[in-house]
Structure 1
Amino acid sequence: MPLLRDADLAEAFDHAARSYDALVATNPGYHAHLRRSARRLGLPRDGTGLRVLDLGCGTGASTAALATVLPGADITAVDASAGMLRRAAARRWARPVRFVHAPVERLAEAGVNGPFDAVFAAYLLRNATDPDAVLATAHRLLAPYGRLAVHEYALSGRAAHRAVWSAVCGGLLLPVATLLGDGALYRHLWRSVLGFDTADALGRRVARAGFERARVLPLPGWQTGITHTVVARRPTGGREPGSETEEGEDAVWRPGTTW
Protein backbone atom coordinates (compact mmCIF):
# COMPACT_ATOMS: atom_id res chain seq x y z
CA MET A 1 0.00 0.00 0.00
CA PRO A 2 1.52 3.36 -1.03
CA LEU A 3 1.74 6.18 1.50
CA LEU A 4 -1.01 8.79 1.53
CA ARG A 5 0.00 12.21 0.29
CA ASP A 6 -1.36 15.72 -0.10
CA ALA A 7 -5.17 15.85 -0.55
CA ASP A 8 -5.63 12.14 0.21
CA LEU A 9 -3.74 12.47 3.49
CA ALA A 10 -5.63 15.62 4.47
CA GLU A 11 -8.92 13.84 3.78
CA ALA A 12 -7.86 10.88 5.91
CA PHE A 13 -6.97 13.21 8.78
CA ASP A 14 -10.33 14.98 8.36
CA HIS A 15 -12.13 11.68 8.89
CA ALA A 16 -9.92 10.65 11.82
CA ALA A 17 -10.15 13.99 13.63
CA ARG A 18 -13.11 12.92 15.78
CA SER A 19 -11.15 10.10 17.46
CA TYR A 20 -7.58 11.30 17.08
CA ASP A 21 -7.21 12.76 20.57
CA ALA A 22 -8.62 9.62 22.17
CA LEU A 23 -6.04 7.45 20.42
CA VAL A 24 -3.27 9.90 21.30
CA ALA A 25 -4.30 9.61 24.95
CA THR A 26 -3.25 5.94 24.91
CA ASN A 27 0.35 6.99 24.17
CA PRO A 28 2.22 7.48 27.48
CA GLY A 29 4.27 10.67 27.48
CA TYR A 30 2.82 12.06 24.25
CA HIS A 31 1.94 15.50 25.62
CA ALA A 32 4.91 15.68 28.00
CA HIS A 33 7.27 14.97 25.11
CA LEU A 34 5.77 17.78 23.05
CA ARG A 35 6.26 20.17 25.96
CA ARG A 36 9.86 19.00 26.32
CA SER A 37 10.50 19.70 22.63
CA ALA A 38 8.88 23.14 23.01
CA ARG A 39 11.24 23.91 25.92
CA ARG A 40 14.15 22.79 23.76
CA LEU A 41 13.51 25.78 21.51
CA GLY A 42 15.34 27.67 24.24
CA LEU A 43 13.31 30.84 23.87
CA PRO A 44 13.77 33.50 26.56
CA ARG A 45 11.34 34.49 29.30
CA ASP A 46 7.81 33.23 28.76
CA GLY A 47 7.77 34.08 25.09
CA THR A 48 6.33 37.58 25.56
CA GLY A 49 6.77 39.60 22.41
CA LEU A 50 7.81 36.57 20.35
CA ARG A 51 6.09 35.12 17.28
CA VAL A 52 5.91 31.33 17.06
CA LEU A 53 4.70 29.27 14.11
CA ASP A 54 3.27 25.79 14.72
CA LEU A 55 3.48 23.90 11.43
CA GLY A 56 1.11 20.93 11.16
CA CYS A 57 -0.72 21.65 14.40
CA GLY A 58 -3.29 18.85 13.97
CA THR A 59 -5.90 18.91 16.74
CA GLY A 60 -3.79 21.37 18.72
CA ALA A 61 -1.64 19.14 20.94
CA SER A 62 1.57 20.78 19.74
CA THR A 63 -0.06 24.20 19.99
CA ALA A 64 -1.06 23.46 23.60
CA ALA A 65 2.52 22.46 24.37
CA LEU A 66 3.79 25.76 22.98
CA ALA A 67 1.12 27.74 24.85
CA THR A 68 2.07 26.04 28.12
CA VAL A 69 5.81 26.57 27.74
CA LEU A 70 5.51 30.05 26.16
CA PRO A 71 2.30 31.55 27.59
CA GLY A 72 3.20 35.06 26.42
CA ALA A 73 3.98 34.20 22.79
CA ASP A 74 1.87 35.07 19.78
CA ILE A 75 1.19 31.67 18.19
CA THR A 76 0.10 30.99 14.63
CA ALA A 77 -0.95 27.38 14.04
CA VAL A 78 -1.49 25.92 10.57
CA ASP A 79 -2.66 22.59 9.20
CA ALA A 80 -3.78 21.19 5.86
CA SER A 81 -6.66 19.21 7.43
CA ALA A 82 -9.79 21.27 8.01
CA GLY A 83 -11.20 18.61 10.34
CA MET A 84 -8.15 18.54 12.58
CA LEU A 85 -7.97 22.33 12.59
CA ARG A 86 -11.60 22.69 13.67
CA ARG A 87 -10.90 20.57 16.74
CA ALA A 88 -7.81 22.64 17.52
CA ALA A 89 -9.72 25.90 17.24
CA ALA A 90 -12.52 24.55 19.47
CA ARG A 91 -10.16 24.09 22.42
CA ARG A 92 -10.16 26.66 25.21
CA TRP A 93 -7.10 28.87 24.90
CA ALA A 94 -5.88 31.19 27.65
CA ARG A 95 -4.47 33.48 24.97
CA PRO A 96 -5.84 33.83 21.42
CA VAL A 97 -4.20 31.60 18.81
CA ARG A 98 -4.40 32.32 15.11
CA PHE A 99 -5.43 29.17 13.24
CA VAL A 100 -4.88 28.95 9.49
CA HIS A 101 -6.09 26.22 7.12
CA ALA A 102 -3.38 25.79 4.50
CA PRO A 103 -0.71 23.36 3.34
CA VAL A 104 2.84 24.52 4.00
CA GLU A 105 3.48 25.34 0.35
CA ARG A 106 0.57 27.83 0.34
CA LEU A 107 1.25 29.73 3.56
CA ALA A 108 1.96 33.00 1.78
CA GLU A 109 -1.39 32.81 -0.04
CA ALA A 110 -3.05 32.23 3.34
CA GLY A 111 -1.45 35.37 4.78
CA VAL A 112 1.17 33.64 6.93
CA ASN A 113 4.31 35.74 6.68
CA GLY A 114 7.46 36.05 8.74
CA PRO A 115 9.60 36.79 10.40
CA PHE A 116 8.90 34.34 13.23
CA ASP A 117 11.14 33.87 16.23
CA ALA A 118 10.56 30.12 16.24
CA VAL A 119 9.05 27.36 14.12
CA PHE A 120 7.78 24.15 15.70
CA ALA A 121 7.00 21.16 13.47
CA ALA A 122 5.64 18.06 15.20
CA TYR A 123 5.01 14.82 13.29
CA LEU A 124 5.00 16.76 10.01
CA LEU A 125 8.09 16.13 7.92
CA ARG A 126 7.61 12.43 7.30
CA ASN A 127 4.05 13.13 6.09
CA ALA A 128 5.19 15.76 3.61
CA THR A 129 5.63 14.95 -0.06
CA ASP A 130 8.76 17.14 -0.02
CA PRO A 131 10.18 17.50 3.50
CA ASP A 132 13.06 19.59 2.20
CA ALA A 133 10.57 22.14 0.86
CA VAL A 134 8.95 22.30 4.30
CA LEU A 135 12.33 23.02 5.89
CA ALA A 136 13.05 25.65 3.23
CA THR A 137 9.77 27.34 4.09
CA ALA A 138 10.62 27.30 7.80
CA HIS A 139 14.04 28.76 7.01
CA ARG A 140 12.48 31.54 4.95
CA LEU A 141 9.93 32.44 7.61
CA LEU A 142 12.39 32.56 10.51
CA ALA A 143 14.16 35.70 11.64
CA PRO A 144 17.97 35.57 11.80
CA TYR A 145 18.88 33.32 14.73
CA GLY A 146 15.26 32.16 14.85
CA ARG A 147 14.86 28.69 16.39
CA LEU A 148 13.57 25.50 14.80
CA ALA A 149 12.34 22.40 16.64
CA VAL A 150 11.38 19.31 14.64
CA HIS A 151 9.60 16.76 16.86
CA GLU A 152 9.37 13.55 14.89
CA TYR A 153 9.18 9.78 14.87
CA ALA A 154 12.70 9.21 13.54
CA LEU A 155 14.10 5.81 14.45
CA SER A 156 17.61 5.29 15.76
CA GLY A 157 18.37 2.71 13.09
CA ARG A 158 18.55 -0.15 15.58
CA ALA A 159 16.41 -3.17 14.75
CA ALA A 160 15.02 -3.28 18.30
CA HIS A 161 13.50 0.18 17.97
CA ARG A 162 11.92 -0.69 14.62
CA ALA A 163 10.45 -3.80 16.25
CA VAL A 164 8.98 -1.82 19.17
CA TRP A 165 7.40 0.68 16.81
CA SER A 166 5.80 -2.05 14.69
CA ALA A 167 4.61 -3.93 17.79
CA VAL A 168 2.88 -0.83 19.20
CA CYS A 169 1.22 -0.06 15.87
CA GLY A 170 0.21 -3.62 15.08
CA GLY A 171 -0.88 -4.56 18.59
CA LEU A 172 -2.81 -1.45 19.56
CA LEU A 173 -3.20 1.42 17.13
CA LEU A 174 -4.05 -0.43 13.92
CA PRO A 175 -6.76 -2.70 15.38
CA VAL A 176 -8.52 0.18 17.12
CA ALA A 177 -8.17 2.55 14.17
CA THR A 178 -9.53 -0.10 11.80
CA LEU A 179 -12.62 -0.52 13.96
CA LEU A 180 -13.10 3.25 13.78
CA GLY A 181 -12.81 3.25 10.00
CA ASP A 182 -9.40 4.91 9.96
CA GLY A 183 -7.21 1.92 9.23
CA ALA A 184 -5.78 3.41 6.03
CA LEU A 185 -4.49 6.48 7.87
CA TYR A 186 -2.85 4.55 10.67
CA ARG A 187 -1.28 2.07 8.27
CA HIS A 188 0.17 5.10 6.54
CA LEU A 189 1.45 6.52 9.85
CA TRP A 190 3.07 3.19 10.74
CA ARG A 191 4.74 2.76 7.36
CA SER A 192 5.74 6.43 7.09
CA VAL A 193 7.99 6.06 10.14
CA LEU A 194 9.65 2.89 8.85
CA GLY A 195 10.39 4.57 5.52
CA PHE A 196 11.53 7.94 6.85
CA ASP A 197 14.92 9.24 7.96
CA THR A 198 16.76 7.79 10.89
CA ALA A 199 17.36 10.32 13.66
CA ASP A 200 20.89 11.06 12.46
CA ALA A 201 19.73 11.40 8.85
CA LEU A 202 17.07 13.86 9.96
CA GLY A 203 19.73 15.94 11.70
CA ARG A 204 21.75 16.02 8.50
CA ARG A 205 18.64 16.95 6.51
CA VAL A 206 18.03 19.95 8.77
CA ALA A 207 21.67 21.02 8.41
CA ARG A 208 21.49 20.75 4.61
CA ALA A 209 18.46 23.03 4.68
CA GLY A 210 20.72 25.87 5.83
CA PHE A 211 20.26 25.67 9.60
CA GLU A 212 23.17 25.82 12.01
CA ARG A 213 23.90 24.26 15.42
CA ALA A 214 21.61 21.31 14.65
CA ARG A 215 21.29 18.84 17.51
CA VAL A 216 19.47 15.51 17.64
CA LEU A 217 18.01 14.99 21.12
CA PRO A 218 16.36 11.83 22.49
CA LEU A 219 13.06 11.54 24.29
CA PRO A 220 12.44 9.23 27.28
CA GLY A 221 10.11 6.34 27.99
CA TRP A 222 9.00 3.73 25.48
CA GLN A 223 9.76 6.21 22.69
CA THR A 224 13.51 6.14 23.41
CA GLY A 225 15.18 5.52 20.07
CA ILE A 226 11.87 6.12 18.28
CA THR A 227 11.02 9.80 18.77
CA HIS A 228 13.55 12.62 18.69
CA THR A 229 13.75 16.40 18.73
CA VAL A 230 16.00 18.10 16.21
CA VAL A 231 16.74 21.66 17.27
CA ALA A 232 18.60 24.21 15.20
CA ARG A 233 18.60 27.88 14.32
CA ARG A 234 18.66 29.98 11.21
CA PRO A 235 22.00 31.76 10.83
CA THR A 236 22.28 35.44 10.08
CA GLY A 237 23.70 36.09 6.64
CA GLY A 238 24.82 32.46 6.30
CA ARG A 239 24.60 30.07 3.41
CA GLU A 240 21.41 29.53 1.50
CA PRO A 241 19.31 26.40 2.07
CA GLY A 242 20.59 23.46 0.05
CA SER A 243 24.14 24.77 -0.32
CA GLU A 244 27.16 23.17 1.31
CA THR A 245 29.96 24.62 3.40
CA GLU A 246 33.54 24.16 2.28
CA GLU A 247 33.87 21.30 4.78
CA GLY A 248 30.85 19.45 3.36
CA GLU A 249 27.23 18.95 4.30
CA ASP A 250 27.99 17.55 7.77
CA ALA A 251 30.08 20.50 8.89
CA VAL A 252 27.23 22.27 10.64
CA TRP A 253 25.60 19.18 12.12
CA ARG A 254 26.64 17.61 15.39
CA PRO A 255 24.93 14.75 17.20
CA GLY A 256 24.50 15.46 20.88
CA THR A 257 22.22 15.65 23.89
CA THR A 258 22.34 19.36 24.71
CA TRP A 259 21.29 22.53 22.94
Structure 2
Amino acid sequence: MTLLRDHDLARAFDHAARTYDSLTALNPGYRTDLLRSARRLQLPRAGAGLRILDLGCGTGTSTRALLRAAPHARITAVDASAGMLRRALAKPWPGHVRFRHLTAEEAVLRQEQEEPYDAVFAAYLFRNVTDPDGLLAAVRALLRPGGRLAVHEYSLSGSAAHRALWTAVCQGVIVPAGTLSGDRALYRHLWRSVLDFDTAPAFTARLTDAGFTGVRVAPVAGWQTGIVHTFLARNAAEGAKGTDSAEGTAVGGAA
Protein backbone atom coordinates (compact mmCIF):
# COMPACT_ATOMS: atom_id res chain seq x y z
CA MET A 1 0.00 0.00 0.00
CA THR A 2 1.04 3.63 -0.54
CA LEU A 3 1.73 5.48 2.70
CA LEU A 4 -0.12 8.71 3.42
CA ARG A 5 2.04 11.83 3.28
CA ASP A 6 1.82 15.56 3.90
CA HIS A 7 -1.66 17.01 3.25
CA ASP A 8 -3.25 13.59 2.74
CA LEU A 9 -1.99 12.46 6.13
CA ALA A 10 -3.10 15.70 7.81
CA ARG A 11 -6.60 15.28 6.34
CA ALA A 12 -6.74 11.68 7.57
CA PHE A 13 -5.86 12.86 11.07
CA ASP A 14 -8.47 15.62 10.79
CA HIS A 15 -11.14 12.99 10.19
CA ALA A 16 -9.83 10.63 12.88
CA ALA A 17 -9.57 13.32 15.55
CA ARG A 18 -13.08 12.76 16.94
CA THR A 19 -12.28 9.17 17.97
CA TYR A 20 -8.50 9.32 18.32
CA ASP A 21 -8.32 9.67 22.11
CA SER A 22 -10.83 6.85 22.58
CA LEU A 23 -8.86 4.49 20.34
CA THR A 24 -5.46 5.29 21.85
CA ALA A 25 -6.98 4.74 25.31
CA LEU A 26 -7.45 1.09 24.31
CA ASN A 27 -3.65 0.75 24.11
CA PRO A 28 -2.36 -0.27 27.56
CA GLY A 29 0.41 2.06 28.65
CA TYR A 30 -0.07 4.63 25.84
CA ARG A 31 -0.14 7.64 28.17
CA THR A 32 2.28 6.15 30.69
CA ASP A 33 4.85 5.52 27.96
CA LEU A 34 4.59 9.12 26.71
CA LEU A 35 5.10 10.39 30.25
CA ARG A 36 8.11 8.12 30.71
CA SER A 37 9.66 9.49 27.51
CA ALA A 38 8.99 13.09 28.57
CA ARG A 39 10.60 12.44 31.95
CA ARG A 40 13.63 10.93 30.25
CA LEU A 41 14.48 14.45 29.05
CA GLN A 42 15.54 14.97 32.69
CA LEU A 43 14.75 18.68 32.61
CA PRO A 44 15.96 20.51 35.72
CA ARG A 45 13.90 22.62 38.15
CA ALA A 46 10.62 21.14 36.88
CA GLY A 47 11.26 23.11 33.68
CA ALA A 48 11.38 26.55 35.33
CA GLY A 49 12.83 29.08 32.88
CA LEU A 50 12.90 26.56 30.00
CA ARG A 51 11.20 26.58 26.60
CA ILE A 52 10.03 23.26 25.16
CA LEU A 53 8.65 22.46 21.70
CA ASP A 54 6.16 19.60 21.34
CA LEU A 55 6.56 18.77 17.66
CA GLY A 56 3.53 16.91 16.32
CA CYS A 57 1.36 17.29 19.42
CA GLY A 58 -1.82 15.66 18.06
CA THR A 59 -4.73 15.95 20.51
CA GLY A 60 -2.37 17.10 23.27
CA THR A 61 -1.59 13.79 24.97
CA SER A 62 2.13 14.30 24.47
CA THR A 63 1.75 17.92 25.60
CA ARG A 64 0.08 16.73 28.80
CA ALA A 65 3.01 14.35 29.37
CA LEU A 66 5.46 17.24 28.97
CA LEU A 67 3.42 19.39 31.33
CA ARG A 68 3.54 16.67 33.98
CA ALA A 69 7.27 16.15 33.48
CA ALA A 70 8.13 19.87 33.45
CA PRO A 71 5.16 21.75 34.96
CA HIS A 72 6.92 25.14 35.04
CA ALA A 73 8.26 25.14 31.46
CA ARG A 74 6.88 27.26 28.64
CA ILE A 75 5.54 24.75 26.13
CA THR A 76 4.75 25.40 22.48
CA ALA A 77 2.82 22.55 20.83
CA VAL A 78 2.39 22.35 17.05
CA ASP A 79 0.60 19.99 14.69
CA ALA A 80 -0.29 19.91 11.00
CA SER A 81 -3.83 18.63 11.62
CA ALA A 82 -6.44 21.27 12.41
CA GLY A 83 -8.83 18.58 13.63
CA MET A 84 -6.34 17.19 16.14
CA LEU A 85 -5.54 20.69 17.38
CA ARG A 86 -9.22 21.47 17.92
CA ARG A 87 -9.37 18.44 20.22
CA ALA A 88 -6.28 19.61 22.04
CA LEU A 89 -7.59 23.15 22.49
CA ALA A 90 -10.86 21.87 23.92
CA LYS A 91 -8.94 20.59 26.96
CA PRO A 92 -7.93 22.78 29.92
CA TRP A 93 -4.39 24.20 29.81
CA PRO A 94 -2.40 26.67 31.90
CA GLY A 95 -1.35 29.96 30.35
CA HIS A 96 2.23 28.89 29.68
CA VAL A 97 1.10 26.24 27.15
CA ARG A 98 0.25 27.45 23.64
CA PHE A 99 -0.79 25.61 20.47
CA ARG A 100 -0.06 26.43 16.84
CA HIS A 101 -1.40 24.97 13.60
CA LEU A 102 1.88 24.33 11.79
CA THR A 103 3.63 21.47 10.08
CA ALA A 104 6.95 20.47 11.62
CA GLU A 105 8.74 22.20 8.75
CA GLU A 106 6.73 25.41 9.20
CA ALA A 107 7.48 25.38 12.94
CA VAL A 108 11.17 25.39 12.08
CA LEU A 109 10.80 28.39 9.75
CA ARG A 110 8.77 30.37 12.30
CA GLN A 111 11.41 29.73 14.97
CA GLU A 112 14.01 31.83 13.17
CA GLN A 113 12.57 34.95 14.81
CA GLU A 114 12.44 33.52 18.35
CA GLU A 115 14.91 32.39 20.98
CA PRO A 116 16.13 28.77 20.80
CA TYR A 117 14.36 25.96 22.61
CA ASP A 118 15.88 24.15 25.55
CA ALA A 119 14.23 20.87 24.55
CA VAL A 120 12.22 19.33 21.71
CA PHE A 121 9.84 16.41 22.17
CA ALA A 122 8.56 14.54 19.11
CA ALA A 123 6.11 11.67 19.56
CA TYR A 124 5.06 9.46 16.65
CA LEU A 125 6.32 12.04 14.16
CA PHE A 126 9.47 11.08 12.28
CA ARG A 127 8.13 8.01 10.46
CA ASN A 128 5.38 10.27 9.08
CA VAL A 129 7.60 12.94 7.50
CA THR A 130 8.91 12.85 3.95
CA ASP A 131 12.45 13.96 4.84
CA PRO A 132 13.45 12.83 8.34
CA ASP A 133 17.09 13.82 7.83
CA GLY A 134 16.13 17.33 6.80
CA LEU A 135 13.83 17.64 9.79
CA LEU A 136 16.50 16.40 12.20
CA ALA A 137 18.91 19.03 10.87
CA ALA A 138 16.22 21.66 11.35
CA VAL A 139 15.49 20.47 14.90
CA ARG A 140 19.18 20.86 15.76
CA ALA A 141 18.94 24.45 14.57
CA LEU A 142 15.97 25.01 16.90
CA LEU A 143 17.88 23.88 19.98
CA ARG A 144 20.26 25.96 22.04
CA PRO A 145 23.76 24.49 22.55
CA GLY A 146 23.30 21.65 25.02
CA GLY A 147 19.57 21.47 24.26
CA ARG A 148 17.85 18.11 24.55
CA LEU A 149 15.82 16.01 22.13
CA ALA A 150 13.49 13.13 22.97
CA VAL A 151 11.87 11.17 20.14
CA HIS A 152 9.12 8.75 21.18
CA GLU A 153 8.52 6.54 18.18
CA TYR A 154 7.37 3.23 16.79
CA SER A 155 10.78 1.90 15.74
CA LEU A 156 11.13 -1.86 15.76
CA SER A 157 14.10 -3.58 17.35
CA GLY A 158 14.86 -5.46 14.13
CA SER A 159 13.65 -8.76 15.55
CA ALA A 160 11.38 -10.82 13.32
CA ALA A 161 9.29 -11.64 16.40
CA HIS A 162 8.62 -7.94 17.05
CA ARG A 163 7.63 -7.38 13.40
CA ALA A 164 5.25 -10.34 13.60
CA LEU A 165 3.74 -9.12 16.88
CA TRP A 166 3.19 -5.63 15.46
CA THR A 167 1.44 -7.04 12.39
CA ALA A 168 -0.72 -9.36 14.51
CA VAL A 169 -1.84 -6.51 16.79
CA CYS A 170 -2.57 -4.25 13.82
CA GLN A 171 -4.53 -6.84 11.86
CA GLY A 172 -6.35 -8.17 14.90
CA VAL A 173 -7.12 -4.95 16.81
CA ILE A 174 -5.87 -1.61 15.45
CA VAL A 175 -7.02 -1.75 11.81
CA PRO A 176 -10.44 -3.29 12.65
CA ALA A 177 -11.04 -0.63 15.32
CA GLY A 178 -9.98 2.09 12.89
CA THR A 179 -12.25 0.63 10.23
CA LEU A 180 -15.25 0.81 12.57
CA SER A 181 -14.53 4.49 13.17
CA GLY A 182 -14.32 5.16 9.42
CA ASP A 183 -10.54 5.65 9.39
CA ARG A 184 -9.25 2.45 7.85
CA ALA A 185 -6.72 4.19 5.58
CA LEU A 186 -5.07 5.99 8.51
CA TYR A 187 -4.68 2.87 10.63
CA ARG A 188 -3.42 0.82 7.71
CA HIS A 189 -0.90 3.63 7.23
CA LEU A 190 0.09 3.25 10.88
CA TRP A 191 0.71 -0.46 10.40
CA ARG A 192 2.79 -0.11 7.25
CA SER A 193 4.67 3.04 8.30
CA VAL A 194 6.09 1.23 11.32
CA LEU A 195 7.25 -1.72 9.23
CA ASP A 196 8.85 0.60 6.67
CA PHE A 197 10.53 2.95 9.17
CA ASP A 198 14.03 2.70 10.65
CA THR A 199 14.80 0.02 13.17
CA ALA A 200 15.92 1.35 16.55
CA PRO A 201 19.64 0.92 15.70
CA ALA A 202 19.10 2.63 12.33
CA PHE A 203 17.39 5.64 13.89
CA THR A 204 20.12 6.03 16.52
CA ALA A 205 22.61 6.08 13.65
CA ARG A 206 20.46 8.64 11.82
CA LEU A 207 20.54 10.90 14.89
CA THR A 208 24.32 10.61 15.13
CA ASP A 209 24.71 11.33 11.42
CA ALA A 210 22.56 14.44 11.90
CA GLY A 211 25.15 15.77 14.37
CA PHE A 212 23.47 14.98 17.68
CA THR A 213 25.63 13.76 20.54
CA GLY A 214 25.03 11.53 23.55
CA VAL A 215 22.53 9.53 21.50
CA ARG A 216 20.75 6.85 23.51
CA VAL A 217 17.79 4.55 23.02
CA ALA A 218 15.57 3.19 25.77
CA PRO A 219 12.64 0.76 25.54
CA VAL A 220 9.11 1.19 26.80
CA ALA A 221 7.45 -1.38 29.02
CA GLY A 222 4.74 -3.93 28.36
CA TRP A 223 3.68 -5.44 25.05
CA GLN A 224 5.32 -2.59 23.10
CA THR A 225 8.83 -3.48 24.29
CA GLY A 226 10.89 -3.80 21.13
CA ILE A 227 8.24 -1.90 19.15
CA VAL A 228 8.27 1.60 20.70
CA HIS A 229 11.47 3.32 21.89
CA THR A 230 12.58 6.62 23.36
CA PHE A 231 15.54 8.18 21.54
CA LEU A 232 17.50 10.75 23.55
CA ALA A 233 20.13 13.14 22.22
CA ARG A 234 21.71 16.55 22.69
CA ASN A 235 22.71 19.46 20.53
CA ALA A 236 26.14 19.58 22.15
CA ALA A 237 27.69 22.83 23.30
CA GLU A 238 30.67 23.87 21.20
CA GLY A 239 33.66 21.72 22.10
CA ALA A 240 31.63 19.50 24.46
CA LYS A 241 30.90 15.81 24.28
CA GLY A 242 27.48 14.32 25.02
CA THR A 243 27.45 13.12 28.62
CA ASP A 244 23.76 12.64 29.15
CA SER A 245 23.13 10.29 32.03
CA ALA A 246 19.56 9.54 30.97
CA GLU A 247 18.33 5.98 31.16
CA GLY A 248 19.18 3.96 28.05
CA THR A 249 21.88 2.20 26.11
CA ALA A 250 24.78 3.69 24.18
CA VAL A 251 24.70 4.70 20.52
CA GLY A 252 23.82 1.80 18.26
CA GLY A 253 22.18 -0.27 20.99
CA ALA A 254 18.66 -1.58 20.84
CA ALA A 255 16.30 -2.94 23.39
**Structure-2-length-normalised TM-score:** 0.92
> Is the 1:152–1:229 contact (alpha carbons within 8 Å) kept by the matching residues of 2?
yes
The runs of 4+ residues in structure 1 deviating greater than 6 Å are none
Letter of the structure 1 residue corresponding to residue 251 of structure 2:
W
The within-5 A match list for 1:71-90 is 71-90=71-90
Distance 2:65 2:32 in 1: 8
Partner residue, 1:218:
219
- Is it true that 1:44 corresponds to 2:44 in the alignment? yes
> Is the 1:104–1:137 contact (alpha carbons within 8 Å) kept by the matching residues of 2?
no
Letter of the structure 1 residue corresponding to residue 149 of structure 2:
L
Distance 2:162 2:83 in 1: 32
**Structure-1-length-normalised TM-score:** 0.90
Partner residue, 1:248:
none
Distance 1:109 1:200 in 2: 29
- Once the 2 structures are TM-superposed, how far is the Cα of residue 110 of structure 1 from its aligned partner? 4.4
- Once the 2 structures are TM-superposed, how far is the Cα of residue 109 of structure 1 from its aligned partner? 5.0
- Is it true that 1:170 corresponds to 2:171 in the alignment? yes
- Is it true that 1:107 corresponds to 2:144 in the alignment? no
Letter of the structure 1 residue corresponding to residue 140 of structure 2:
H
- Once the 2 structures are TM-superposed, how far is the Cα of residue 50 of structure 1 from its aligned partner? 0.4
Partner residue, 1:137:
138
Partner residue, 1:60:
60
Distance 1:172 1:195 in 2: 20
Partner residue, 2:20:
20
Distance 2:210 2:239 in 1: 11
Letter of the structure 2 residue corresponding to residue 125 of structure 1:
F
> Is the 1:71–1:95 contact (alpha carbons within 8 Å) kept by the matching residues of 2?
no
Q: Which has the higher helix share?
A: 2
Partner residue, 2:251:
253
The within-5 A match list for 1:226-245 is 226-237=227-238
Q: Cα deviation per residue 1:67-100 (whole Å; 9 max; x = unaligned)?
A: 0111000000000001001111111124431111
Distance 1:255 1:235 in 2: 20
Distance 2:122 2:138 in 1: 12
Distance 1:4 1:256 in 2: 28
Question: Match of 1:129, SS?
Answer: coil
Q: Cα deviation per residue 1:146-181 (whole Å; 9 max; x = unaligned)?
A: 000000000001111111111111111111111211
> Is the 1:56–1:121 contact (alpha carbons within 8 Å) kept by the matching residues of 2?
yes
> Is the 2:108–2:139 contact (alpha carbons within 8 Å) kept by the matching residues of 1?
no
The within-5 A match list for 1:151-190 is 151-190=152-191
- Once the 2 structures are TM-superposed, how far is the Cα of residue 42 of structure 1 from its aligned partner? 1.3
Distance 1:238 1:120 in 2: 24
Question: Match of 1:164, SS?
Answer: helix
- Once the 2 structures are TM-superposed, how far is the Cα of residue 236 of structure 1 from its aligned partner? 1.8
> Is the 1:47–1:71 contact (alpha carbons within 8 Å) kept by the matching residues of 2?
yes
- Once the 2 structures are TM-superposed, how far is the Cα of residue 114 of structure 1 from its aligned partner? 3.8
Identity of aligned residues (%): 62
- Once the 2 structures are TM-superposed, how far is the Cα of residue 138 of structure 1 from its aligned partner? 1.0
- Is it true that 1:30 corresponds to 2:39 in the alignment? no
RMSD: 1.7
> Is the 2:108–2:138 contact (alpha carbons within 8 Å) kept by the matching residues of 1?
no
> Is the 1:135–1:209 contact (alpha carbons within 8 Å) kept by the matching residues of 2?
yes
Letter of the structure 1 residue corresponding to residue 105 of structure 2:
E
Distance 2:254 2:162 in 1: 19
Question: Match of 1:46, SS?
Answer: helix
Question: Match of 2:46, SS?
Answer: coil
> Is the 1:100–1:110 contact (alpha carbons within 8 Å) kept by the matching residues of 2?
no
- 164-173 or 105-114, which moves further after superposition? 105-114
- 144-153 or 172-181, which moves further after superposition? 172-181
Letter of the structure 1 residue corresponding to residue 76 of structure 2:
T
